[in-house]
C-alpha cells in the first residue's frame, strides 16, 4: 500500500511576503503542491488617488533588490501615458541602471541563495561533493565571499547615476535626473572592469568573456567545459559538472510555457514611447513560448485570476480593467482550504495559460530566430539546451548565470555611447490617459499599468515576475508554475526537504536565510535550516 504524507513548509522564501508551500507525497514523490503567498502588500491601494508621479517614489520600495526595475516600469508607464520624448542619453542610462541591477544579482543569488544547497548532505556520496562544499558552502566556501563581495560592484555604477541603490528615483517621465561627467563614465568603466577581473573572468568563467560568448549549442558548452583546466575548474565549470552528477537536470520541470516582456529599449528606436512600438525597440526581446512555437508579445493577452486568492471575486481581467483588490480573511498554511482561496498572490495567465517568467524565459526569447531586428540579441544556445535537456532546476539556473557575460558587454558598450554634450531630460506635458511600463527584472517579467483621470491615479496595477511563478491555481483549477514544477519531485528526506527549496530557488523565489519544516497535522517543527 502506498504511503501518503502531507508536508507544510513555512516559510520557503520571501517574495512580496513570505512564501509557504504545501506538498502531498506518495511514496516520497510529490503528487500535488500548493504555493501560498502569506503576506498582503497592497501597493496598488496606496497609489490610488495619488499624483501620477507617486509611483516613482513609492514603487521602488516594493523590493530591496529590484527597486530599480520598479522605477524603470513606473517611469515607462508614465512615458506612454503622457506621450513623452526621451533623449538617447536617457534610454542609455536607464538601460545601464537596469542591467547593473540585474548583473549584481547573478553572483549574489548564485552563491548566497542557490549553490549553498548543492553542499547539502543529500549529495554527500557524489564524487564532486567535497569540492562543491569547499567552494559553495554558505559563508565558509572559498568562492562564497568573493562572489558576494563582487556583486556589490555593479550597483556602485547604478549609484553613480541614480544617486543611491536601492530605492533610487533618478528615472522620470521624459528622461533621467542626472547629467554625468566624464569622470563618472570613467569611474563606471573602472568599477565594471574590477568586477570582470575579480570575479567574472577569473573565478566564474576561467576564460575571457569573448571566448565564452562563442558558445552557441549545448555541445559547444560541454566542449568548453572540457577545453582546459581553467574552464573545467572554474565555478561555472564546477556548477555544470556537479549539477549533472547530482541530477539537478531531472526535476523541477514546470508548465513548459514562458513569458518575457523584454528590456533595454534602443536609444535610437524609442524616443517617442508607445505601447505599440515597444516590441520593435527592445534589445532583449519579448515574447511568449507555448512549448512548441513563439508568439509575439501583446500585453492585452494578460489576465489575472483571483478565484483562489484572498480577494473579493471578480472575473479574470486585464490589469487596466481590474478593480482595486478587496482583501478578504486569510488563513495560515495549516488552516487553509486549498479547494478555495489560499494565497495573497493572484494568478496571471497569458492567452489563458500559466507561464514561467525569469531568466530562462528571456534567454529562450533571445533564441527565437523569427522577427529578428539588427539591434536585437540573437543567442541560439538555450533553444538547443531546452530541446536536449528540457526545463528543470539545472537549466533554469544555467540560464541566469549565462546572462552575466552578455550583460557586462552591453553595459560596457552603453557607457561608451553616452554623449556628455547631449540632453538627458525633456520636460513632458502631464495629461490623463493609460500607460504600460515593463522590463525584465533579475527574476523576470515585471510590469506596471496606470490609469490617470482628473490628474490623479485612478488605477495602478503591479505584476511582478514572482506573481507569475508563485501564483495559485487559476479559476479553472490549473496550477501555477512552481506548483507544477514541484509535482513529480522525489523528496529523499521529509525532515530535510531540500528538493522543494531547490525547485523554488531555481525560480528565484526570494528564499532568504532560513527554512523551517513543520508537520502539517501536529504543527511540530521538524527541521530548521540556516544558511
Please tell me what DSSP assigns to residue 27: T
Beta strands in 333-455 (DSSP E): 347-350, 433-441, 444-453
Task: Label the pairing between strands 433-441 and 444-453.
Answer: antiparallel
Q: Is 63 annotated as a binding residue?
A: yes
Q: Is 73 annotated as a binding residue?
A: no
The Cα–Cα gap between 4 and 21 comes to: 17
Q: Is 510 annotated as a binding residue?
A: yes
* Cβ 409 vs Cβ 209: under 8 Å: yes
Cell 549565462 belongs to 402
The Cα–Cα gap between 97 and 407 comes to: 11
* Element containing residue 29 per DSSP (H, E): strand 29-37
* Cβ 35 vs Cβ 13: under 8 Å: no
List the strands of the sheet with 294-295, edge to edge.
258-260, 287-289, 294-295
* Cβ 294 vs Cβ 366: under 8 Å: no
* Cβ 84 vs Cβ 78: under 8 Å: yes
Cα–Cα separations (whole angstroms), residue 451 to 79, 173, 242, 319, 431: 12, 15, 49, 10, 11
Q: Is 44 annotated as a binding residue?
A: yes
User: 3-class DSSP state for residue 421?
Assistant: coil
Please tell me what DSSP assigns to residue 227: S
Q: Is 66 annotated as a binding residue?
A: yes
* Cβ 113 vs Cβ 465: under 8 Å: no
R_g (Cα) of the chain, nearest Å: 22
Residues annotated within a binding site for Mg(2+): 44, 462, 516
Which segments are annotated as binding site for Ni(2+)?
A: 63, 66, 510
Residues at the annotated binding site? Answer: 44, 63, 66, 462, 510, 513, 516
- Binding-site residue set for Fe cation: 66, 513
Amino acid at each position: 500500500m502506498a504511503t501518503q504524507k502531507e508536508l507544510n513548509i513555512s516559510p520557503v522564501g520571501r517574495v512580496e511576503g513570505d512564501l509557504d508551500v504545501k506538498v502531498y507525497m506518495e511514496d516520497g514523490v510529490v503528487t500535488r503542491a500548493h504555493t501560498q503567498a502569506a503576506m498582503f502588500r497592497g501597493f496598488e491601494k496606496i497609489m490610488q488617488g495619488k499624483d501620477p508621479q507617486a509611483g516613482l517614489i513609492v514603487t521602488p520600495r516594493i523590493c530591496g533588490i529590484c527597486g530599480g526595475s520598479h522605477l524603470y516600469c513606473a517611469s515607462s508607464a508614465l512615458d506612454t501615458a503622457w506621450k513623452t520624448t526621451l533623449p538617447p542619453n536617457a534610454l542609455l542610462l536607464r538601460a545601464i541602471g537596469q542591467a547593473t541591477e540585474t548583473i549584481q544579482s547573478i553572483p549574489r543569488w548564485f552563491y548566497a541563495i542557490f549553490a549553498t544547497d548543492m553542499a547539502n548532505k543529500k549529495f554527500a556520496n557524489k564524487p564532486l561533493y567535497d569540492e562543491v562544499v569547499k567552494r559553495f558552502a554558505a559563508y565558509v566556501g572559498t568562492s562564497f565571499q568573493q562572489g558576494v563581495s563582487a556583486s556589490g560592484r555593479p550597483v556602485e555604477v547604478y549609484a553613480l547615476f541614480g544617486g543611491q541603490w536601492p530605492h533610487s528615483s533618478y528615472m522620470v517621465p521624459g528622461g533621467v535626473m542626472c547629467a554625468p561627467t566624464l569622470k563618472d563614465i570613467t569611474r563606471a568603466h573602472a568599477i565594471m572592469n574590477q568586477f570582470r577581473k575579480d570575479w567574472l573572468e577569473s573565478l566564474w568563467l576561467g576564460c575571457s568573456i569573448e571566448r565564452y560568448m562563442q558558445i552557441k549549442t549545448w555541445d559547444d558548452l560541454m566542449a568548453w567545459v572540457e577545453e582546459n583546466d581553467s574552464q573545467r575548474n572554474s565555478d561555472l565549470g564546477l556548477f555544470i559538472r556537479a549539477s549533472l552528477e547530482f541530477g539537478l537536470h531531472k526535476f523541477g520541470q514546470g508548465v513548459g510555457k514562458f513569458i518575457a516582456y523584454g528590456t533595454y529599449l534602443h536609444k535610437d528606436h524609442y524616443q517617442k514611447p508607445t505601447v505599440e512600438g515597444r516590441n520593435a525597440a527592445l534589445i532583449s526581446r519579448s515574447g511568449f513560448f507555448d512549448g512548441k512555437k513563439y508568439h509575439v508579445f501583446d500585453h492585452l493577452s494578460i489576465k489575472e485570476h483571483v478565484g483562489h486568492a484572498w480577494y473579493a471575486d471578480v472575473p479574470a481581467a486585464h490589469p487596466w480593467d481590474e478593480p482595486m483588490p478587496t482583501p478578504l480573511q486569510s488563513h495560515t498554511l495549516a488552516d487553509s482550504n486549498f479547494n478555495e482561496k489560499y494565497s495573497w498572490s493572484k494568478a496571471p495567465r497569458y492567452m489563458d495559460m500559466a507561464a514561467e517568467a525569469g531568466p530562462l524565459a528571456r534567454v529562450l526569447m533571445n533564441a527565437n530566430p523569427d522577427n529578428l531586428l539588427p539591434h536585437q540579441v540573437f543567442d541560439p544556445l538555450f533553444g538547443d539546451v531546452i530541446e536536449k535537456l528540457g526545463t528543470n532546476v539545472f537549466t533554469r539556473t544555467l540560464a541566469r548565470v549565462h546572462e552575466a557575460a552578455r550583460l557586462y558587454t552591453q553595459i560596457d558598450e552603453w557607457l561608451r555611447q553616452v554623449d556628455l554634450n547631449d540632453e538627458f531630460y525633456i520636460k513632458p506635458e502631464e495629461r490623463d490617459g493609460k500607460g504600460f511600463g515593463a522590463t525584465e527584472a533579475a527574476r523576470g517579467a515585471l510590469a506596471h499599468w496606470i490609469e490617470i483621470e482628473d490628474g490623479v491615479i485612478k488605477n495602478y496595477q503591479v505584476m511582478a515576475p514572482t506573481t507569475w511563478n508563485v501564483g495559485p491555481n487559476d479559476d479553472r483549477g490549473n496550477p501555477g508554475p512552481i506548483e507544477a514544477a514541484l509535482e513529480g519531485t522525489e523528496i529523499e528526506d521529509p525532515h530535510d526537504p531540500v528538493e522543494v527549496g531547490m525547485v523554488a530557488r531555481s525560480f528565484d523565489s526570494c528564499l532568504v536565510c532560513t527554512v523551517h519544516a513543520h508537520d502539517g497535522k501536529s504543527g511540530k517543527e521538524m527541521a530548521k535550516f540556516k544558511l
